[in-house]
Structure 1
Amino acid sequence: MTLATLSDVLQPALKGGYAVGGLVCLGWEDMRAYVAAAEAERLPVILQAGPSCRAHTPLPVLGRMFRHLAESVSVPVVAHLDHGYSFDECREALDSGFTSLMFDGSKLPLSENIAQTALIAEMAHRAGVSCEGEIGFVGYSDGAASQGTHPAEAERFAFETGVDAMAISVGNVHLQQNREGGLDEARIAEIDARTEVPLVIHGGSGVPIEQRARLARGTSICKFNIGTELRMAFGSALRSAVAADPDRFDRVQILREVEAPLEAAARSALRALAPEKEIA
């Protein structure tokens, strides 16, 4: 079994100058494709159950799915709760076998965010699993605007919460369908200079590939969350599979044709974050 905690995969990344992909899951087909991609690339992977995933499938079921997939490969697989919004939700994920809890208190006042995140980090650490927190709200494409991370607040947050990874807001946004943005590297450097904790970029799909690779090798950013570009690959493959035979109705047959293109997209995303010597 290769089930790992977030710290198990991020600490080597921090020391080795690379990052790990946090791949956003919505169902069985994408989970299976992501694990197959990680095994093919010989790289660790973080399977992430966000709010949309949890609305579709209960946490206890997701925990069993993630752990089953971890048993099927030889590379490290992290079972990660993404954007948990309450202590009870994080507790349920822990009880369901998750090895990493992400509490998102980024909309809360700083002191309250610190207090709640510290409580969940303590719970996680007592159970031998990891905790990710977020300081500075990461907005949404065509939605709520971001509130950038202040370096001094990031320093305080990292010290007072004891988190194993810290998500920051530095120009990244969720659900961005193109890579025309880019991150604020000066702000990243300021945060990097004040903290030692591995940094996390949510909304990684909107970050240019070249910048992802360079920041993974040259900063403390050790985790990029990748969701939108993989969902787009899934949707494109699904439309092609349905259009190829309009009379076909068996979803197992249709979805079988989606996994190979999705695995290829996931392999590309993971490879871009790998140690430089491993990038083809």
Structure 2
Amino acid sequence: MTLATLGEVLQPALAGGYAVAGLVTLGWEDMRAFVTAAEAEACPVILQAGPSCRRHTPLPVLGRMLTHLAAAASVPVVVHLDHATTEDECRAAIDCGFSSVMFDGSRLPLAENIAATARVARLAAAAGLSCEGEIGFVGYAGGEVSAGTDPEEAARFAAETGIDAMAISVGNVHLQRQACGGLDEARLRAIEAATPVPLVIHGGSGVARPLRRRLARESAICKFNIGTELRQVFGRALRDALARDPGEFDRVAILREVEPPLVAATREILRDLKP
């Protein structure tokens, strides 16, 4: 079985100068494609179940699906709960077999974020699992505006919570449909100097591939979350499959055609982050 915790894949990445992809899953087809791509590239992968995924499929079902894939994989697979906002949801994910949880207290005042994240980190550690937290606020394209991570607050957050990975806000934005400008590297370097905890970039689809490649090798960013970029690939492949045969109605046959282009695109993303 190759189910891994977040700490088990991020600490080697931090030491080895590379990063691991946190891939946002929505269903069986993309989950399977992501593992296939990781096996082809011989690298670990983090399969993430975010809020929209959990609204579509119950957490116990997601746990079974994801851990089933991890059990059969030839590479380390982290089964990760993304953007949970309650301790109860994190506890439920742990009970469902997830190997890592991300508690998002970024909308809370600093002291409340620290206290709540620390409780979840202790809960995860007691189960032998990992916890990711967020300090600062990563905004959303066309929605809430980001608030950059303060390096001194990041140092306090990391020290007082005991988290295994820290999501930061350095110009990255969720749900961007295309790569935009660069990141605030001066802020990133100040955060790196303040804490030894592996760093995470949410909204990785908005970071240009050359910049992802460079920062994976030259910074403490050990995890890039990628969602929108691969959802766009899935959508295009699905439309192409329907256009090729408008009379096809069997969704299994249709979705079978979507997986190869999704695997190919995922392999490119993984290759950029490898050592």
| Distance in 2 separating the partners of 1:241 and 1:258 | 7
Structure 2 counterpart of 1:85: 85
The answer for unaligned runs of 5 or more in structure 2 is: none
- Aligned equivalents of 1:5, 1:62: Cα separation in 2: 17
Asked if 1:155 corresponds to 2:155, the answer is: yes
Does the residue aligned with 2:141 lie in a helix, a strand or coil? Answer: coil
Q: Does the alignment pair 1:114 with 2:111?
A: no
State the alpha-carbon separation in 1 of the partners of residues 180 and 199 from structure 2: 22
Counterpart Cα distance in 2 of 1:165 and 1:266: 23
1:205-237 superposed Cα distances (whole Å, 9 cap, x missing partner): 000111111111111100000000000000000
TM-score, scaled to structure 2: 0.99
Match of residue 216 from structure 1 = 216
Residue 13 of structure 2 corresponds to which residue in structure 1?
13
CA–CA separation in structure 2 for the residues paired with 1:84 and 1:266: 25
Residue 238 of structure 2 corresponds to residue 238 of structure 1: yes
Q: Which residue of 2 aligns with 1:3?
A: 3
The answer as to whether partners of 1:182 and 1:206 remain within 8 angstroms in 2 is no
Partner of 1:49: 49
Q: Percent identity?
A: 71
Structure 1 position 73, deviation (Å): 1.6
Q: For residue 259 of structure 1, give the secondary structure of its aligned residue in structure 2.
A: helix
- 1:133 aligns with 133
Give the letter aligned to residue 274 of structure 2.
A
Runs of 4+ off more than 2 Å: none
CA-based RMSD: 0.5
Report the CA distance between 1:181 and its aligned residue.
2.1
For 1:240, give the aligned amino acid: D
Partners of 2:183 and 2:2 in 1: CA distance = 33
What amino acid is the match of 1:113? N
Number of matched pairs? 275
Task: Report the equivalent of 1:278.
Answer: none
Instruction: Please give the TM-score of this superposition, normalised by the length of structure 1.
Output: 0.98
* CA shift for structure 1 position 247: 1.1
Specify the alignment match of 1:39 in structure 2: 39
Q: What is the DSSP-based 3-state SS (H/G/I as helix, E as strand, rest coil) of the residue aligned with 2:173?
A: coil
For residue 180 of structure 1, report the CA deviation from its aligned partner: 2.0
Note if contact 1:18-1:274 (Cα within 8 Å) is conserved in structure 2: yes
